[in-house]
DNA sequence: TCTGGGGTCCTTTTCCTT
DNA sequence: TCTGAAGGAAAAGGACCC
């Protein structure tokens, strides 16, 4: 029996959020549509839809339009007909409304996307149990030891998974199969939507090297700009640089990583389970708030964040001992502060109080746009039950700022 | 008229202890 | 008691990703 060749798949759902919306509202297919995030302020966006009608019967004219939206928020997803107007992900809603006022605007519905996410991952695990969760719409799968995982380089198994997901959920996906995660991730983009791309080690030069460096997972806008500053635009050009030269210009570990990535080398394993490191809650206000003038409002929001974060921790069975805040000022400058306490906690009042102390260490000279609360250094809530965990912190705190 | 929310990981800075 | 070096932990920031 020959040793199986390492085959790793990356699966990426096609237009995931939009596709889930199309399952509820098939009449919206083909229309310019954006899904916007801005949470609380978008609640009620769909309230005007006719009652009693089944969702597929709601006339297209009844849906909210981008032109009628007033307030803050960004686009999470834009469908292709909307993109033709220059609208794209991460764009402000007000700006998008100028470009494509007739686009339908739906509020992002994370709980529904998570439901579908759990379902398609369940389907995958039944077929190929070594699966790594990489967020709501993508996973890595180790095909190496799965029966049939070697046939046609993984194409047969990929096809089976694609069909099983479609049958169970109605959703399409694209899959890349390669010798490792790095290349599989790039391969899954080769043939979207509903594509399957098979890449072997000897294909790297032909299929990977012509791509821009940005296509490497881990090279973002900053690293790309730096590379371009050295005249390096494609992965092939990156591969042509000496390992030592890269180490000299980007640091030892980063340089080595860049070199390996360009040559399609990646030994990372498919990790089937992991523990969270931190949990947080944050919110952007409807308008910028002033630390003094809007003290009451800020205080209430602050408390609310601490309470929902505590509820998240308790529901998921975690406690943490590093408590921190995040502020975004009206000029978009971000500041964080955190403190480590003696005993881990998931108590709302403790989190609120320690976070309040962190806040006092920040000069609040500008108005605030966002406030966040974070708990890190998490530990799983073991046999020892909660309750006693709330007793952390020093007893002589001064009056809270909010 | 701008620019969400929830994460991870890495590097640099700061602070404390010896 | 002061000073400086060294090392580690905690804090802060930044890049990146979905």
Q: Which nucleotides of B are covered by protein (CB under 7 A)?
A: 1-12
Is any atom of nucleic acid chain B found less than 7 Å from the CB of residue A88? Answer: no
* Span A304-310, average pLDDT: 95
A138 classed as catalytic: yes
A131 and A102 in a common domain? no
Separation between the CA of A336 and the C1’ of C7 (whole angstroms): 26
What pLDDT does residue A385 have? Answer: 47
A75 and A54 in a common domain? yes
What pLDDT does residue A294 have? Answer: 93
| pTM of the predicted model as reported, rounded to 2 decimal places | 0.90
What pLDDT does residue A233 have? Answer: 93
Q: Which of A231, A247, A241, A245 is nearest to A263 (CA)?
A: A241
A274 or A237: which carries more pLDDT confidence? A237
Separation between the CA of A379 and the C1’ of C18 (whole angstroms): 24
Per-residue pLDDT for A399 more than 80?
Answer: no
* Span A97-113, average pLDDT: 92
The mean pLDDT of chain A is 89
Which of A21, A138, A189, A307 is an active site residue? A138
Is any atom of nucleic acid chain B found less than 7 Å from the CB of residue A123? Answer: no
Q: How far is CA A137 from CA A11, A13, A114, in A?
A: 8, 5, 9
Q: Is residue A94 part of a domain?
A: yes
Per-residue pLDDT for A392 more than 90?
Answer: no
Helices (H), A48-154: 80-83, 93-99, 110-127
Domain final residue, candidates A111, A138, A153: A111
Q: For position A128, which CATH number holds? A: 3.30.70.270
Per-residue pLDDT for A202 more than 90?
Answer: yes
Q: Which nucleotides of C are covered by protein (CB under 7 A)?
A: 10-18
Question: Residue A232 belongs to what domain range?
Answer: 209-262
Separation between the CA of A44 and the C1’ of B5 (whole angstroms): 19
A351 and A325 in a common domain? yes
Angstrom distance (rounded) from CA A262 to CA A257: 9
Domain final residue, candidates A140, A167, A183: A183
Is any atom of nucleic acid chain B found less than 7 Å from the CB of residue A271? Answer: no
What pLDDT does residue A400 have? Answer: 54
Separation between the CA of A254 and the C1’ of C15 (whole angstroms): 13
- What percentage of chain A has pLDDT greater than the value 70? 94
With distances taken from each CA to the C1' atom of nucleotide C18, the closest residue turns out to be: A135
The owner of tokens 């709302």 is A348
In this complex, the nucleotide whose C1' atom is nearest to the CA atom of residue A91 is: B3
Is any atom of nucleic acid chain B found less than 7 Å from the CB of residue A278? Answer: yes
What pLDDT does residue A1 have? Answer: 67
pLDDT tens, A172-193?
A: 999 999 999 999 999 999 999 9
* Span A366-376, average pLDDT: 93
pLDDT tens, A60-83?
A: 999 999 998 888 888 999 999 999
- Quote the number of domains for chain A: 4
Per-residue pLDDT for A38 more than 90?
Answer: no
What pLDDT does residue A212 have? Answer: 94
Per-residue pLDDT for A48 more than 70?
Answer: yes
């Amino acid at each position: 029996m020959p040793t199986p060749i390492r085959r790793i798949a990356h699966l990426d759902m096609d237009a995931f959020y939009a596709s889930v919306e199309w399952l509820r509202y098939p009449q919206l297919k083909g229309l310019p549509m954006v899904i916007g995030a801005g949470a609380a302020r978008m609640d009620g966006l769909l309230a005007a839809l006719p009652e009693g009608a089944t969702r597929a019967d709601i006339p297209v004219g009844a849906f909210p339009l981008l032109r009628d939206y007033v307030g803050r928020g960004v686009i999470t997803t834009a469908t292709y007909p909307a993109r033709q107007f220059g609208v794209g992900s991460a764009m402000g809603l007000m700006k998008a409304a100028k470009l494509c006022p007739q686009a339908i605007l739906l509020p992002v519905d994370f709980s529904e996307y998570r439901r579908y996410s759990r379902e398609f991952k369940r389907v995958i695990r039944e077929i190929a149990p070594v699966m790594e969760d990489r967020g709501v719409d993508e996973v890595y799968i180790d095909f190496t030891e799965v029966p049939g995982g070697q046939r046609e380089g993984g194409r047969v198994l990929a096809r089976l998974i694609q069909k099983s997901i479609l049958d169970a959920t109605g959703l399409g996906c694209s899959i890349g199969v390669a010798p490792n995660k790095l290349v599989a991730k790039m391969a899954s983009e080769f043939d979207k939507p509903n594509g399957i791309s098979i890449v072997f080690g000897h294909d790297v030069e032909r299929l990977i090297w012509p791509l821009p460096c940005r296509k490497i997972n881990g090279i973002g806008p900053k690293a790309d700009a730096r590379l371009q500053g050295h005249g390096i635009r494609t992965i092939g050009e990156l591969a042509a640089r000496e390992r030592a030269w890269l180490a000299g210009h980007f640091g030892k570990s980063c340089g080595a990583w860049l070199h390996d990535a360009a040559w399609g080398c990646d030994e990372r394993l498919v990790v089937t389970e992991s523990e969270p490191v931190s949990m947080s809650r944050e919110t952007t206000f409807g308008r910028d708030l002033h630390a003094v003038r809007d003290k009451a409002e800020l205080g209430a929001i602050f408390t609310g964040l601490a309470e929902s974060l505590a509820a998240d921790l308790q529901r998921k069975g975690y406690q943490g001992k590093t408590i921190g805040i995040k502020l975004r000022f009206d000029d978009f400058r971000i500041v964080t502060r955190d403190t480590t306490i003696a005993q881990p906690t998931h108590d709302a009042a403790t989190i609120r109080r320690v976070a309040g102390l962190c806040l006092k260490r920040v000069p609040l000279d500008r108005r605030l746009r966002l406030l966040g609360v974070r708990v890190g250094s998490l530990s799983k809530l073991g046999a020892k039950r909660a309750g006693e965990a709330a007793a952390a912190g020093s007893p002589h705190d001064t009056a809270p700022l909010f």
